[in-house]
Structure 1
Amino acid sequence: MTADRKPRPAWAVRLQAERRKRLWSQKHVAARIRDAADPGLRATLPEIESLVRAIRRYEAGTHRPDDPYPALLSRVFGIDEVELFADAPQPATPVQPPPDLMEQVASVTGRRVGDGIVTDLSARVHGLRLADDVLAGGDLVEPAFRELATARRIYRGSVHTERVGRRILGIVGECAQIAGWIASDAGQPGRAEQTYRLGIEAAREAGDRVLEGNLLGSLAYQVSNLGDPRDGVRLARAALEATGPDAPPRARALSWDRVAWANARAGEAQATMRALGEASDALAGGARDDDPGYLYWVTAGELQVMEARAYTELRRPLRAIPILVDVLSRYEATHARELALYLSWLAVALIDANEPEEAAAVAARMLELSADVASDRTSRRASVVLGRLEPFRDVPQVRDVLASHA
């Protein structure tokens, strides 16, 4: 039984905590390990992907690092090797806001600010988005809300022109969107909804309808997943209307994607298909010079994933499975949360296709990946997958998965 499993060793917990404290991905740590090695040793080290797999095992506590990795990890984290790999737990140190954030707020209070502060804030918010690509909500929620608080204080506490003020409000809205997304992934939907609504008001005040539509769409996505899907459809339609017909193609594609998912959750197959077609047509318009930076991830591959998820939700596995297999064959292993989520949809589609043995193999990989990801989304999907496997308990492969992850 899983209740009899031994807790992770203190050194494994510490390795993970030190990485997350720095907002580093496992791939980033792997690259730093290679950089920390002397040239002669570096030539003998495995490639990045192999190091990432090793780091995953270290953090899970299933394998203790052998030489030369303890010394290299000590250099990477700047912590004495004996302290880093001590078997006894050490008291946690409270996380303090980074000094530069506090200095930034203090330096502009009561002073006139211009475009430079907007550029700086925008870069920090985009850094959060990039971190969210490889880290989960539980890792990022507090840093995200510190950034949001900083942007709001700068807007309220500084002197600026109307134009600069609108730009700062836009940054507040963008920060609210990624902070809300992260809060939702951290299992804080109430906080996420409140943050999305704050961002919607900031975007409206800034006169940025595309950003308003993005925030409404993010809220629609959460409501579709956790609330009444019919409310999700209404919100997704409102997001599409706010985005407007003249928005950049990727913004229109994302809005239609949210409409498709909300309808799939509501069981409206025809409306789902129409919205998926509209999303694809919109994206065919290509990128534009005025595309907001927060749309960088809206690609043909991501639309494929949504299409496959919608087919799975509508119990059409024969359409979903080929798309998911194709997407997963090209997906980066370092994006553990997304990879686990997409595997969960493939597992469910295989169950619907009456392929429990294959579903069990995919589920086992999904559960292994998500075991160490601080994401409420992956936790919920793991529960769904295990629940859907339960009727096939008599199949040996399924029984093994259920026994390992009871």
Structure 2
Amino acid sequence: MSDQLRNDMRQERRASAMGWKQFAREAGFGEAYLRNVENGNRAVTHGVANAYDRVLKTGGAFTGVLEDMPAMATGAPWDQPRSLTVLTGLLKGSSVDRRGVLSAGAALAASAGSWSKALGSNSSTELPIALAHGAVLLTHVEDRLEHLRHFDDELGSGELYQLARNELSLIVMLIKSRRYDSFALAHLHSMASEAARQIAWAAFDQGSPGIAQRFFDGSLRASAEADDPIAGAYTLSFAAIQCYSTPGQANRAVSLLETAQERVRRKATPRMHAMLAARSARALSKSGAKRESARQLAIARSALDKGRHDDDPKSLYWVDYGEIEMIAGSSALQLGDPAEAIRRFEAAMHASYPGDEAYPRSHAIYLARAAEAHLAMHDLDAAVAKAHHAARCLGSVDSERSATELDGLRVKLAAHTSYGPVREFLQAG
């Protein structure tokens, strides 16, 4: 964990464009001393972390990571079934988000490593008594989780957080009832993993990365206890979005996705591989790895070419050519190629991407990025048209993440207020 902290500190210092002499002077430490800290020859002390936060204006992020390290090291162990204890604690715990984005990312990395090691280690032979008609109730719970996924797509995460908490609370109660056999218990833990993932995603989408991290961790623990690497890999794919949406955390997102890909390499369907490859491409674009990003997109498209499989997870209903091309467009824009971004966004629409009807929250984000690409190509009319479309999508959605994306577009458009349609869009709010 300290190695990742040093790397984060190094990347943030380099991104500031400060020379070593200036940085050391403002930090109040010797240049050689700080070089040794970053190289691992000296410890990252509270004073050094605080100095980096102060000079780089990172809002106490590095100090927070350092303070969180003992908790990360001494948290609930992964070498025995403990997901129920963790999930129960999360449901009873505070909803206050005290962890910053960098410390949340560090904790996610620790959870991913522990999850990978814990898979397959649950060797419990205890067989609770089976409940008559229990499978019917479990099917109802699973159906509700599926409905919540579509609820999130169409209405955003505002209400999802509490609804998913209710489902997780019910699942935990069913596990505690001890009225299910080992097969049903594994199914319940897989559903607990999905419910916790939904809570984590809702928290992230509403701007609470610390809460999201805790529930991502709980989701991974539940998937490990169910020995369900597919559920855990799906969770990591969303945790990766939290990481690559945080400046300086793209490489951590890539690492999370590599862990997911490795653990499902021989178990996942092509559609699952396509999703993980596309998310990897997006993370790689955030780190400027153009060639590798393109390679992952090619893998995603090739995987989709293999068609649907009967055992595709229900949660992958949204993975299709349209979504892959939207991710490709976002990646191209990130890599400084707005013309390619426009081509990919248009290809998504030609693939019948059902954004307005099925995915207005995600479509608002993609439309804002398409508008930014048109703006970079000096096509103000197209940029404004996409901006209006994004605003219409967002009108029915509760998502801080989507709203932030549109706010960023408004900032970029503000430089063109001399053009009437731009001015009218900005004035409309």
TM-score by length of 1: 0.68
Q: Distance in 2 between matches of 1:150 and 1:403?
A: 46
Unmatched tracts of structure 1, length 5 or more? 1-109
Matched, 1:229 2:282: no
Q: Distance in 2 between matches of 1:388 and 1:336?
A: 22
Contact 1:213 1:241 in 2 (8 A): no
**1:116 counterpart residue number:** 136
- Root-mean-square deviation over aligned CA pairs: 2.0
**1:154 counterpart residue number:** 174
Contact 2:321 2:348 in 1 (8 A): no
| 1:391 partner letter | A
Q: Distance in 2 between matches of 1:166 and 1:291?
A: 18
Q: Deviations over 1:160-182 (max 9, x none)?
A: 22221111111111222223222
**2:345 counterpart residue number:** 324
**1:400 counterpart residue number:** 424
In structure 2, do the counterparts of structure 1 residues 332 and 402 end up closer, same or farther at CA, with 3 Å as the change threshold? Answer: closer
**1:310 counterpart residue number:** 331
Contact 2:322 2:347 in 1 (8 A): no
From 385, 389, 398, the counterpart of 1:374:
398
Q: Distance in 2 between matches of 1:259 and 1:232?
A: 8
After superposing the two structures, state which structure 1 stretch, 242-251 or 367-376, moved more.
Answer: 367-376
Matched, 1:167 2:191: no
**1:281 counterpart residue number:** 302
From 316, 322, 325, the counterpart of 1:301:
322
Q: Distance in 1 between matches of 2:286 and 2:264?
A: 22
Q: Distance in 2 between matches of 1:282 and 1:313?
A: 24
| 1:210 partner letter | I
Q: CA deviation at 1:142?
A: 1.1
Unmatched tracts of structure 2, length 5 or more? 1-127
Contact 1:212 1:243 in 2 (8 A): no
Q: Deviations over 1:49-96 (max 9, x none)?
A: xxxxxxxxxxxxxxxxxxxxxxxxxxxxxxxxxxxxxxxxxxxxxxxx
SS in 2 for 1:333: helix
Contact 2:161 2:198 in 1 (8 A): no
TM-score by length of 2: 0.65
Q: Distance in 1 between matches of 2:156 and 2:341?
A: 26
Q: Distance in 2 between matches of 1:219 and 1:229?
A: 12
| 1:187 partner letter | G
Q: Distance in 1 between matches of 2:285 and 2:196?
A: 26
Q: Distance in 1 between matches of 2:155 and 2:289?
A: 33
Contact 1:148 1:175 in 2 (8 A): yes
**1:107 counterpart residue number:** none
Q: CA deviation at 1:112?
A: 4.5
How many residues were matched structurally? 296
Q: Distance in 2 between matches of 1:312 and 1:321?
A: 8
SS in 1 for 2:294: helix
| 1:362 partner letter | K
Contact 1:315 1:349 in 2 (8 A): no
From 361, 382, 399, the counterpart of 1:358:
382
Q: CA deviation at 1:246?
A: 3.6
Q: Distance in 2 between matches of 1:142 and 1:339?
A: 24
Identical aligned residues as a percent: 26
Q: Distance in 1 between matches of 2:318 and 2:423?
A: 38
**2:54 counterpart residue number:** none
Matched, 1:139 2:159: yes
Q: Distance in 2 between matches of 1:375 and 1:297?
A: 18
Q: Distance in 1 between matches of 2:393 and 2:318?
A: 22
SS in 2 for 1:160: coil
**2:200 counterpart residue number:** 180
Q: CA deviation at 1:354?
A: 1.7
Q: CA deviation at 1:250?
A: 0.9
**Pairing 1:51-90 to 2, within 5 Å after superposition:** none
Q: Distance in 2 between matches of 1:277 and 1:363?
A: 29
**1:192 counterpart residue number:** 212
SS in 2 for 1:222: helix
**1:128 counterpart residue number:** 148
| 1:401 partner letter | F
Matched, 1:207 2:193: no
